[in-house]
Structure 1
Amino acid sequence: MIVPVTPLDFGRRAFKLYPDRLAVVDGPLRLTYRDLAERTYRLAHGLKAAGLRPGDRVAVLAPNTHTMLETFYGVPWAGLVLVPLNTRLTPEEYRYILTHSGSRALIADGRLWPLIAPVAEGLPLILVDGDAPPGTLAYEDWLSRQSADPIPLDVPDENGLITLNYTSGTTSRPKGVMLTHRNTFMNAVNFLLHHRMAITDRYLHTLPLFHVNGWGDAWAVTAVGAVHVMMSKVEGQAMWDLIHQEGVTALCGAPAVLNMLATTPHAPLDHPVRIATAGAPPPAALLQTLAQEGIEILHVYGLTEVSPWITVSEIRPEDHTLSPEALAAKMSCQGVEQILAGEVKVVHEDGTEVAHDGQDLGEIVNRSNVVMAGYYQDPEKTAEVIRDGWFHTGDLAVVHSDGSIQIRDRAKDIIISGGENISSVEVEDVLYRHPGVYEAAVVAVPDDKWGETPKAFIVPKPGMTVTAEELRQFCRDRLAHYKVPTSFEFVEALPRTASGKVQKYVLRKPYWEGRQSHVN
């Protein structure tokens, strides 16, 4: 008999094989895989008893706690669809997602309840993890009253939805990305293979679980019986403390998290640590710094719409003859297609592949089992990005002679100055090499002569002083002069999404009010 594939099967296996092994560390709380199984069954039984039926949506608003983790098992185990909510939205954005998704239940962390309380009224079931306000139920009390009897895993259709993940809205409403059991299973296996997860690993959840299901870590860590180390708030010192105290061996994070680790004072590592990074091209200088610390970096690339990993910066044996600078530069590429990510290529507008010369620019497209089922209730937007069986990412890239893909920019972030295309990523990479730069973001601003020119927003390293003229000369020594930012602005922080991506549209917006840009 052919059984549908699902990442929930990793839970079934772990519950059976590793009942007495440590599964979850959440502050002082320790849960074994037997405990996690029991809580999964209680949650599934309770949701069913509350009248929810297969296919119903359950929204969850929580930081990276054990409760958030167990919803990735208990909700779909009951045949329901999980809707993980970004913890940094406005009440109106929550109202839209709850309404658009048709969520019939909500599980919220008590610390975040005030964010969603104004728009949660009317849902049939509201569970609050912590002190339960009127009209809600205390999650732990409610869970303790449910049956702990095992529920056989039954997924009737691997192409059915397991999660509905809403992308961060920029100029429009958030889109609901429909991910299936098959999508997420394939991605979780890619996570296992390329991040080399093993039973001896202790994995730190720095990446928000609401962000594309923690890139698949919610299920992949369990698959091998490893330990989930939860982290509600990401801070440099707290990360280093957990790495040392809990023996953390692996984690995931955007380049901003890597930068936080690199710049936080800490004791030397006494054990290997692997970090998978994505979300934005990591500066080569940052990768080189972490490599010197003894941290192994895995650079991956993808989008919510592809579950989300599709490429990996593959370091081959012959690459170890490269200089540290050249090796870091190669690692900053998005790399080659992952084992279960199907076909990934870079194409011109007419669909022909770009030359593998590191210069010919095109768009990254993907055809695979990790491509979403579509945008929920939005066939027009779905048809815009999935054409002739290929998902169009909107990311512009080149391909090197070894087949490695390297992003030059998002289509919307390319700067077109005097008819010349300027990669904001290329300029940022140079700025990150300056010893006084902590973070950098480059965007297009209007210019009467050239149409638009690069502007750099700089976060200086603490305790260091850097000037615009110094940075301008630094760039002129390393870039074609038309690529050098025409202005610099020093800021305390860059606007970011909850997953660490810089919100360049926020930086651009004040300069383009009432003017026509080549992007929205």
Structure 2
Amino acid sequence: MRRALAAVAALRRCGPQRRYAHAKCQANNARLSPVPYLQRAAMLNPDKTAVKYGDDISLTYSELMTETRQLASAVSRAGVLPGQVVSVLVPNVPVAITCHFAIPGMGATLHMINTRLDARAVAFQLEHAESKLLIVDCELAGIAKDALEMIEDESKRPHLIQAEDPMHAEWSATDGEELRDFMRTGDPNFELPGAEHEDDAIALSYTSGTTGNPKGVLTHHRGAALNSMSVSITWPLVGGDVKYLWTLPMFHCNGWCLPWAITAVVMNLLLGATEEEKAPVTERMPPRVIQMMTGGAAPPPSVMRELEQELGIRPLSAYGLTEVYGPCTSNLWDDSWDDLEEDERGARLPWQAPSLVHEMYVAEKGGFDAVPADGVTLGEVLLRGNAVMKGYLNNEEATKEAFDQGQWFRTGDMAVQHPGGRVEIKDREKDIIISGGENISSIEVETALHQHEGVLHVAVVALPDPFWGETPVAVIEAKPGAKVSGEDIISHARSILAKFKCPKCPIKDVIFRELPKTATGKIQKHVLRAELLAERTAKTKSNVPQ
């Protein structure tokens, strides 16, 4: 009797869904990865154009699959082991698409390098990643060679393979193995083994370094597969005869997972417009609302309104980080907003809704308690979900700090929570200005200043002040030919913002100069802040009587 009662109790503890459950097996559990998306497309639509490069170069899905198998086999025969890194330094050319399937397809980790980096930055990434192969476009071979020479230990230099661009015959391989010869060593019928586990690394991407040294972000097959599906639904992507004109660099968060997402829905990918696609849009399609997704820092509302009113483009801003495969939110338009006044409608453009594979909320700084959904209280954006990175390569301390107690990923971005689950990004935590005990969002001030007709680019940073603690300093790139003074800027700011949020001195706190930017065009506020602080310190010392 006791045994029977114990058995019943144990059964109850298991819960109803566990009573009849069976163990995982091949029949009910498969590894998630975006690599099979290409295999499916090649099987169902072998003769459909997958990639078109200019007017004369195209690959069908069948041909892309064959090239993928051959490159994957060649990489494997070159001695690259599963989990090791293969680096790729190429612009948006067909081989970039092939690499997105071939390298993860044989179990290695794909490292797409920003083509705008200098040799020193490339060398840092190659050495930190311990890359085994470096595939480089001939146009960028000079940077690659300089980068390799900067790696002092020759045994740590990856093997160089140069890829010729068929549209630019003037660039040819001058050193290292040629990609076509390298691929001939591969088997075009090679079966892609893929990753052993779905949480194995699929890609290595480096942060842009806008707040410090870049970190190597490892993402996994499961996240890439699910995020690709999420992207194709949210934006949305459709198959059929639809063509996708590619503008996003594939080195940027693996093109936001679009190389995999577009293949999943079997679209025609255009790398550079052909003569047909260069025709005016009005000649090729009936009038309709065009949606455009923007990433990075959200465009000022004034710019977004101009796009909609003058060009008929409805901009959707997206927020994201390298650590979450690129965009993890989007400004999904609510049809009820169409009835709002223009200013109210514009104010909702930065409101962000989480993707299908991310959870998100705004928490009190340093804690986990949610801030009120009042659109005012500032907190930190926390994220979790299947499309969050594995961690930072060779940086356990930074990984632990980012995954606070293993519960949520701390973004370091400050935001407010709006009703209905939407958040509005206000600033990086490091860029919040505390002046006289008040928090000032540098983004809010930048948005206001950007509305001035003479401002092209603007960045607002905090500098120490003996009375206020910190004060906002605006650094401005004026539009060509524009005549703008510090007094104009402060007067304009005070017409929009509370006085305490505005720069105070037209000479000291409004500066006209070129802004430091990363290779992707992002303003480097940490560099700017350091430059201004050094200049101000030097000026103070020079004024001290000797």
The TM-score, its normalising length taken from structure 1, stands at 0.87
Find the counterpart in structure 1 of residue 496 from structure 2.
Answer: 478
Find the residue that maps to 2:419 and give its secondary structure. Answer: coil
Name 2:519's counterpart in structure 1. Answer: 498
Cα deviations by residue, 1:140-199 (Å, 9 ceiling, x for unpaired):
343355332252564331101100111123565421111000111122122111110111
**Structure 1 residues 213 and 480: alpha-carbon distance in aligned structure 2, compared to 1, 3 A threshold:** same
Whichever residue aligns with residue 494 of structure 2, its letter is R
- Relative distance call for 1:501 and 1:201 in structure 2 (3 A) is farther
208-217 or 434-443, larger mean C-alpha shift: 434-443
Look up the equivalent residue of 1:488 and give its one-letter code: V
Report the equivalent of 2:534: 513
Does 1:128 pair with 2:162? yes
Q: Which amino acid aligns with 1:179?
A: T
Cα contact 1:187–1:309 (8 A) shared by 2: no
Secondary structure, counterpart of 2:381 in structure 1: strand
Q: What are the superposed Cα offsets for residues 123-144 of structure 1, whole Å, 9 maximum, x if unpaired?
A: 463211132233x111134335
- For residues 158-173 of structure 1, what are the structure 2 equivalents within 5 Å? 158-169=198-209, 172-173=212-213
For the residues of structure 1 that align with 2:510 and 2:203, how far apart are their CA atoms?
A: 42
Residue 363 to residue 192, structure 1, CA distance change in 2 (3 Å) = same
Matched residues in 2 for 1:295 and 1:244: separation? Answer: 18
Counterpart CA distance in 2 for 1:78 and 1:69 is: 15
Partner secondary structure for residue 337 of structure 2: helix
2:223 is the alignment partner of 1:205: no
Contact 1:208–1:498 at 8 Å: present in 2 too?
no
Distance change (3 Å), C-alpha of 1:243 and 1:410: farther
- Residues 478-487 or 273-282, more deviating: 273-282
Q: Any residues of structure 2 matched to 1:395-406 within 5 Å, and which?
A: 395-406=413-424
Percent of aligned pairs with the same amino acid? 36
CA distance in 2, matches of 1:209, 1:418: 44
Aligned to 1:26: 53
Following the alignment from structure 1 to structure 2, what is the Cα–Cα distance between the partners of residues 352 and 278? 28
Q: SS in structure 2 opposite 1:70?
A: helix
> Which residue pairs with 1:236 in the alignment?
none
Q: Match of 1:255?
A: none
DSSP 3-state at the match of 1:356? coil
Question: Aligned residue for 2:21?
Answer: none
* 3-state secondary structure, aligned to 2:132: strand
Please tell me whether the aligned partners of residues 354 and 360 of structure 2 are also in contact (alpha carbons under 8 angstroms): yes
Q: Is the 8 A contact 1:56 1:80 kept in 2?
A: yes
> Which residue of 172, 184, 190 maps to 2:230?
190
Residues 93-172 of structure 1 correspond to what in structure 2 (within 5 A)?
93-120=121-148, 122=155, 123=157, 125-130=159-164, 131-134=172-175, 136-144=176-184, 146-149=186-189, 151-152=191-192, 154-169=194-209, 172=212
Contact 1:416 1:452 in 2 (8 A): yes
1:33-72 pair list within 5 angstroms: 33-72=61-100
Looking at structure 2, the residues matched to 166 and 83 of structure 1 have their Cα atoms a distance apart, in angstroms, of: 9
- Residue 16, structure 1, aligned to residue 43, structure 2: yes
* Other structure's SS at 1:103 match: coil
Offset of residue 471 of structure 1: 2.2
Task: Determine the C-alpha separation between the residues in 2 that align with 1:450 and 1:412.
Answer: 18
Q: CA deviation at 1:372?
A: 0.9
C-alpha deviation, 1:287, in angstroms: 1.0
Aligned residues of 1:346 and 1:398 also touching (Cα < 8 A) = no
Alignment of 1:83-94 (within 5 A): 83-94=111-122
- Could you tell me which runs of 5 or more consecutive residues in structure 2 were left unpaired when the two chains were aligned: 1-26, 149-153, 165-171, 538-546
Amino acid at match of 1:506: V
Deviation at 1:37, TM superposition (A): 1.4
Structure 1, unpaired ranges of 5+? 232-238, 250-266
| Matched residue, 2:268 | 227
Distance 1:108 1:155, change over 3 A: same
Structure 2 contact 106–195 (Cα < 8 Å) conserved: no
Q: Given that residues 363 and 396 in structure 1 are in contact (C-alpha distance below 8 angstroms), is that contact kept between their aligned partners in structure 2?
A: yes
Pairwise CA distance, 1:368: 1.0
Residue 243 to residue 214, structure 1, CA distance change in 2 (3 Å): farther
2:220 to 163, 175, 180: 180
Partner of 1:488: 510
Report the 3-state secondary structure (helix = DSSP H, G, I; strand = E; otherwise coil) of the residue aligned with 1:156: coil
Counterpart selection for 1:6 from 9, 33, 54: 33
Retained in 2: the 8 A contact 1:346–1:397?
Answer: no
Distance 1:329 1:202 in 2: 33
Cα distance in 2 between the residues matched to 1:271 and 1:23: 26
The alpha-carbon distance between structure 1 residues 385 and 94, as it changes in their structure 2 partners (threshold 3 A), is same
Partners of 2:486 and 2:48 lie apart in 1 by 55
Q: In structure 2, do the counterparts of structure 1 residues 345 and 24 end up closer, same or farther at CA, with 3 Å as the change threshold?
A: same
Paired residue secondary structure (2:397): helix
1:57 deviates by 1.0
Q: Deviations over 1:233-281 (max 9, x none)?
A: xxxxxx8x989517899xxxxxxxxxxxxxxxxx999665432212112
In structure 2, what is the equivalent of residue 254 of structure 1?
none
Q: Whole-Å Cα distance in 2 between the matches of residues 203 and 228 of structure 1?
A: 5
Q: 1:454 aligns with which of 459, 467, 472?
A: 472
Deviation at 1:117, TM superposition (A): 0.8
CA distance in 2, matches of 1:391, 1:317: 32
Is the 1:394–1:410 contact (alpha carbons within 8 Å) kept by the matching residues of 2?
A: yes
Counterpart amino acid of residue 511 in structure 2: E
SS in 2 for 1:364: strand
Corresponding residue for residue 278 of structure 2: 245
More deviation in 405-414 or 318-327? 318-327
Query: C-alpha distance in 1, partners of 2:238/2:398?
Result: 39
Give the aligned residue type for 1:129. A
* Residues in 2 aligned to 1:406 and 1:108: alpha-carbon distance in whole angstroms: 39
Q: Which of 357, 369, 373 is residue 386 of structure 2 equivalent to?
A: 369
Rounded to whole Å, the distance in 2 between the matches of 1:405 and 1:412 is 19
Q: Any idea what SS the aligned residue of 1:157 has?
A: coil
**What is the CA deviation profile of residues 202-249 of structure 1, one whole-angstrom value per residue up to 9, with x for unaligned ones?**
323322211111111121111111122225xxxxxxx8x989517899
- Is the alpha carbon distance of 1:478 and 1:214 closer, same or farther for their aligned partners in structure 2, counting shifts above 3 Å? same
